[in-house]
Chain A
């Protein structure tokens, strides 16, 4: 997993609420047995017409946002299924940071496993960043994870909260499984106790 320290990039505005995982990556693309290559189908049904040509006014098809690395979105981003194909598709497209007032629980978790930073902010801050993002390629934001702040094009600074362990793992690009396996003896102790107390399991 790539480390996430600081990101400076174009932010694309998606003011829609309840952007669900079926929108982010429709089910016909879940048949892959790989993690990569999903970027071209990110937001497929919003991004392409039935004949496969691009929907011109979809934000990520506009010249200013084709290389966006940040999304600013409405409430409850990532609701719906547990498909990790959603963050995989975002990452493959080049999105490394999503800013919203709230995220669905499973999607939020999945982001951290893939080096994507989801940032929860109060409505007024999201509104401000949405305005910034509307300004297209001029709307470069700097997301500084270490300092836990977002710096806007006009020099404004917005602070954000993040769980310290998740921050640490993201900054170091750590592999969860490797970390947990260091606790193998605690797991085995637990299992011995479990075998005694709940032998039917």
Chain B
């Protein structure tokens, strides 16, 4: 068969290895190895199972944790909001009824589902991973085919451990060279989204490659893959390597002993073959990247920290001009304002994009011995209980609290403001999260996406600053 001799991409390989059935019209049934479940997108799926008398097909490959609604302060007292409380309790009840492991809110392992998966070794190379959450693309950092699904598909995976899919196209984004100091994984992915646009990846799975990607830590790779969805792609992938294996070895749900050796052998066969065909190629140079800030209400609205708010009068395309005008009105920004002149009210550090230990370390480095500007309210929300514990063991919490940051308990928090953490109308926030949509962090709230270092420097200066000059 030519399929065995034709060079294949990593996506092709994982796809082929999970194909259960292919209909004549090209519709495929793909096996799902790992299913993460959270409280917001699962209640209707479990209800569907109950109504049809169906069971969870592979409860052992399903892991549930509440993250979107959980409070990030005073957690021991429970959840105040009755709707949030009901949703979290419903997940706990459903997990028990259907035999799925559930990490309770007060468990040290609780956290944002996309931080918990890798931490527990639930996320493994070569697997297919889904969750009713678009940022499931995060797990692609391990060379897993991972993407978000809707609630009907959550029900489908619970009942059958498969998903009806048609194959996406292959795109490769190569980031050559080395990042300059203080330019991070977050700046890489924001630059890529700026380059391809929020619909540029629609219909594709993106493989990230190149020296700059290889040089990133696993956590940096997760940041890149996390925001693949913001470029419209179904999933992002990075080939597993020694860093991947080192990260996973010894994790609670990673294979052990002889099984570990066997697994690593298999994982080494995953990277794209030499000469594999990509339908689209994008190339970026890491060395020329600056720290990036978004100015508008779409993640593609990026600009260098040295740049300024765009002037819609200079945009020829009518739809684009209208969108920019609308965004600037919402954001309360004048055309041509220098980014460093934009004053902030709030700073949010956390989320599945940038809520891991390395992110908090970078923030603490900048915060050490300094103070958050008097007019700024800044919060740091660790991505999981284990991240929080690690940070506290390193004394990072003390540095942050001393500098005037609010040190919180883990969850999605103000990335999407489903819990009590939200912006008031008109408040402007530097955020390490992934979306700057209208109302995302609270009705009328204004979000600028940045790296953790840029957010920390902005918290201290009270406005955006070029972190390269700040430190």
Q: List chain A positions with a Cβ less than 8 A from chain B.
A: 15-18, 20, 22-23, 26-28, 30-35, 45, 50, 74-76, 79-84, 87, 102-106, 109-110, 113-114, 163-165, 176-177, 180-181, 183-184, 186-187, 190-191, 194, 198-201
A176 x B156 contact (CB < 8 A): yes
CB <8 Å contact, B33 and A201: yes
Per the bound structure, the CA–CA distance linking A27 and B437 in Å amounts to 12
A163 to B27, CA, bound (A): 9
Kindly state the separation between the CA atoms of A187 and B405 in the bound complex, as whole angstroms.
51
Question: Which chain B residues lie closer than 8 Å to A186 at the CB level?
Answer: 20-21, 29
The answer on a CB contact under 8 Å between B87 and A79 is no
Complex Cα spacing A87 to B153, Å: 13
**Minimum CB–CB distance for A166 against chain B, Å:** 8
Q: Give Cα A108 to B161, complex, Å.
A: 21
Q: Is B274 an interface residue (CB 8 A)?
A: no
Closest residue to B87 on the A side, CB-wise? A31
Interface residues of B in 257-301 (CB under 8 A from A): 259-260, 262-263, 266, 298
Is B418 in contact with A28, judged by CB distance below 8 angstroms?
yes
**B203/A105 in contact, CB under 8 A:** yes
Question: Which of chain B's residues have a CB closer than 8 A to the CB of A17?
Answer: 319-320, 323
Interchain residue pairs with CB less than 8 A apart (8): A22-B440, A30-B418, A80-B435, A81-B133, A82-B148, A180-B164, A183-B21, A194-B31
- Across the interface, do B151 and A106 meet the contact criterion of CB distance under 8 Å? no
Separation of A31 and B70 alpha carbons in the complex (Å): 12
Given known contacts A28-B418, A106-B149, A190-B31, A16 and B134 CB-to-CB distance under 8 angstroms = no
What is the 8 Å Cβ interface bit string for chain B, positions 201-233, against chain A (1 contact, 0 not)?
Answer: 011000000000000000000000000000011
A31-B83 in contact (CB<8A): yes
Contacts of A18 in B (CB 8 A): 198-199, 298, 323
Tell me how far the C-beta of B265 lies from the nearest C-beta in chain A, rounded to whole angstroms: 11
In the complex, residue of chain B having the shortest beta-carbon distance to the beta carbon of A110: B150
B159 partner, pick from A15, A35, A81, A181, beta carbons under 8 A: A181
**Given known A-B contacts A74-B319, A181-B159, A198-B266, A114 and B152 have beta carbons under 8 A apart:** yes
Is there an interface contact between B150 and A84, defined as CB atoms closer than 8 Å? yes
A33 contacts B47, CB within 8 Å?
Answer: yes
The answer to whether A27 touches B25 (Cβ under 8 A) is: no
A200-B202 contact, Cβ under 8 Å, with A50-B425, A82-B150, A186-B20: no
User: Which bucket holds chain B's interface residue count?
Assistant: 35 or more
Binding stretch for chain A, among B37-45, B341-349, B389-397: B37-45
Known: A82-B148, A105-B202. A33 touches B319 (CB 8 A): no
Tell me which residues across on chain B come within 8 A of A109, comparing CB atoms: 149-150, 153
Task: Considering the complex, give the chain B residue whose CB is closest to the CB of A81.
Answer: B134
Query: Which chain B residues border A105 with CB–CB below 8 Å?
Result: 168, 202-203, 232-234
Closest-by-CB residue of B relative to A74 is B319
Known contacts A45-B443, A106-B149, A181-B160; A187/B199 CB under 8 A: no
B255 on the interface (CB 8 Å rule)? yes
Q: How far is the CB of B246 from chain A (nearest CB, A)?
A: 17
In the complex, what residues of B have CB within 8 A of residue A183's CB?
A: 20-21, 29
Contact A187 B202 (CB under 8 A): no
Q: A27-B418, A76-B202, A105-B232 are in contact. Are A187 and B87 (CB under 8 A)?
A: no
Q: Is B298 touching A113 in the complex (CB atoms < 8 A)?
A: no
Closest to B151 in A: A84
In the complex, how many angstroms separate the beta carbon of B447 from the nearest chain A beta carbon? 11
A23 to B259, Cβ gap below 8 A?
Answer: no
- Whether the Cβ atoms of A27 and B255 lie closer than 8 Å is no
Residues of A within 8 A of B418 (CB): 27-28, 30-31
Chain A residue nearest to B40 in the complex (CB): A30
Set B83, B132, B153: member contacting A32, Cβ < 8 A: B83
B471 part of interface (Cβ distance < 8 Å): no
- Which residue from B199, B323, B417 sits with its C-beta under 8 Å from A102? B199
A16 contacts B21, CB within 8 Å? no
- B162: interface (CB < 8 Å): yes
Would you call B244 an interface residue if the criterion is a C-beta within 8 Å of the partner chain's C-beta atoms?
Answer: no
> A165's closest neighbor in chain B, by CB?
B27
Residues of B near A83 (CB, < 8 A) are: 40-41, 150
Nearest-CB distance from B204 to chain A (Å)?
9
Q: How far is the CA of A113 from the CA of B203 in the complex (A)?
A: 19
Q: Shortest 3 CB-CB distances between A and B: which pairs?
A: A200-B255, A113-B152, A82-B148
Q: Report chain A residues within 8 Å CB of B44.
A: 33-35, 84
The B395-411 residues at the A interface (CB cut-off 8 A) are none
Let me know if B440 and A84 touch, CB within 8 A: no
With contacts A31-B418, A76-B202, A199-B262 taken as known, whether A23 is within 8 angstroms of B319 at the C-beta atoms is no
Nearest Cβ on chain B to A128's Cβ, whole angstroms: 15
Chain B residues near A164: list those with CB within 8 A: 25
Q: Is B336 an interface residue (CB 8 A)?
A: no
- Whether a CB of chain A sits under 8 angstroms from the CB of B124 is yes
- How far is the CB of A105 from the nearest CB of chain B, in Å? 5
Q: Complex formed: what's the CA distance from A20 to B92 in Å? A: 30
Interchain CB contact under 8 A, B25 and A20:
no
Q: How far is the CB of B158 from chain A (nearest CB, A)?
A: 9
In the docked arrangement, what's the CA distance between A15 and B146, Å? 32
| Structural contact, B199 and A79, CB atoms closer than 8 A | yes
**Which B residues touch A201, using CB under 8 A?**
33, 61, 124, 127
**With contact pairs A20-B437, A106-B150 given, residues A180 and B156 touching in the complex (Cβ less than 8 Å):** yes
Does residue B84 face the partner (Cβ distance < 8 Å to A)? yes
Contacts of B195 in A (CB 8 A): none
If the complex has contacts A31-B83, A33-B47, A75-B199, are A84 and B152 also in contact, measured as CB distance less than 8 A? yes
